[in-house]
Amino acid sequence: MSRRTTADVPGLVAKARSGDARSVARLISLVEDASPLLREVMALLAPLAGGAHVVGITGSPGVGKSTSTNALVGALRRQGKRVGVLAVDPSSPFSGGALLGDRIRMQDHALDPEVYIRSMASRGHLGGLSWAAPQALRVLDAAGCDVILVETVGVGQSEVEIASMADTTLVLLAPGMGDGIQAAKAGILEIGDLYVINKADRDGADTVRRELRGMLALGERPEGSWNQPILKTVAMRDEGVDEVVEAIDAHLAHLRDSGELARRRALRAREEIEAIAVTSLRERWGDVHARTELDVLAEQVVAGTTDPYAAADELLATYAE
């Protein structure tokens, strides 16, 4: 962290805006390290962000998220769009870094200056996303990316968090990965704006589609709401990917026309502000090994001399000053 406290933040932001990959990488590293310069970085980026379409890609492990992301990048580049990829990997238990590194399956685009791929470690975060992901998204947005693809770890029920971070959420499924009821139990069918059955050349793809359509039909949708499409792809062979991009574009148009885009982004900003504020409060509580007001209140709750709500009110009053 000490190496980055002397960074020329305005210079880094200017270079990132011009498409300099090293400057983008440096800014995201400041985010991941929780650098003291992060406030300055975010202040400079705030007026520059807001133009990118954030697409979350989620699904159970083994459905082909990385291969599908690679294929989507290719389709978006054929449209002339600058693409950012934020791939959240499991953390190494030894280094804390991203276990899968630079995404072996995405090396097709490694030399393309209009594609920026960044792996981030989840660092044990249960939502399938790194805690630093919202700020990293802002860096890629301000760097001029037209579309940012966010690929999550693939951890089942916890992956619903992607819905709060993306404008459009794409849920991947595949034949042979268990029946549709299991996918519904995992919670990921509740968050999708688009559903893509990958590896559709395998037996059972039509069955998965039929089961999925039946389950979606059970849900009540307000009049005028988005009708989630169910598409089939073979990402390894680049089949059906252009149709997925068309559906992503159609969903963005719907979000803008309905006002849902502004609502989703306001909710995203609210949650980010709340997370920063809660983290700041926790830091003000002090070292976990030191005796703090929180420890005193906890002992009073255990002793029965106060209740948790009263203790929480007293703690908030202490740090609101």
* 116: nearest Cα among 101, 102, 105: 102
Percent of the residues in the chain that have a pLDDT greater than 70, as a whole number? 77
* 64: nearest Cα among 199, 176, 210, 156: 199
Tell me the one-letter amino acid at 227.
N
Q: Which pLDDT value is given to residue 154? A: 61
Mean pLDDT for the stretch of residues 93-98: 38
pLDDT at 280 over 80: no
Length of the chain: 321
Taking CA 114 as the corner, what is the angle to CA 108 and CA 117, rounded to the nearest 5 degrees? Answer: 60
Binned at pLDDT 50, 70 and 90, residue 125 comes out as very low
pLDDT at 175 over 70: yes
Percent of the residues in the chain that have a pLDDT greater than 90, as a whole number? 42
pLDDT at 15 over 80: yes
Who contacts 157 (Cβ-Cβ below 8 Å, separation ≥6)?
Answer: 186, 187
pLDDT at 160 over 80: no
Point out the least confidently predicted range of 38-52, 110-124, 282-296: 282-296
Largest CA distance in the chain: 67
Measured in Å, how far apart are the chain's first and last C-alpha atoms?
Answer: 31
CB 31 within 8 A of CB 135: yes
Radius of gyration of the chain (CA): 22
Mean pLDDT for the stretch of residues 286-311: 82
* 195: nearest Cα among 158, 235, 232, 249: 232
Separation CA 227–CA 279 (nearest Å): 38
CB 19 within 8 A of CB 45: no
Binned at pLDDT 50, 70 and 90, residue 89 comes out as low
Mean pLDDT for the stretch of residues 76-88: 92
How does the average pLDDT of the chain come out, rounded?
Answer: 81
Here the tokens at position 175 are: 């034949």
Q: Which pLDDT value is given to residue 158? A: 47
Can you say how many angstroms the Cα of residue 173 is from the centroid of all Cα atoms in its chain? Answer: 18
Handedness of CA 66, 72, 75, 80 (dihedral sign): negative
E strand intervals along 80-145:
83-89, 115-121
pTM: 0.84
Strand partners, 245: none
Mean pLDDT for the stretch of residues 259-267: 93
Classify 314 as helix, strand or coil: helix
Which residue's structure tokens are 């209740």?
Answer: 307
Here the tokens at position 234 are: 């073979």
Mean pLDDT for the stretch of residues 109-128: 70
What the chain holds in terms of domains, given with CATH numbers, is 1-48 (no CATH), 50-258 (3.40.50.300), 271-319 (no CATH)
Q: What is the dihedral of CA 8, 13, 17, 21, to 10 degrees?
A: 60
pLDDT digits (tens, 9 = 90+) for 24-70: 999 998 988 888 898 999 999 999 988 999 999 988 878 888 899 99
pLDDT at 94 over 80: no
Point out the least confidently predicted range of 63-77, 80-94, 271-285: 80-94
Mean pLDDT for the stretch of residues 117-140: 70
Tell me the one-letter amino acid at 70.
N
Which residue's structure tokens are 């400079």?
Answer: 44
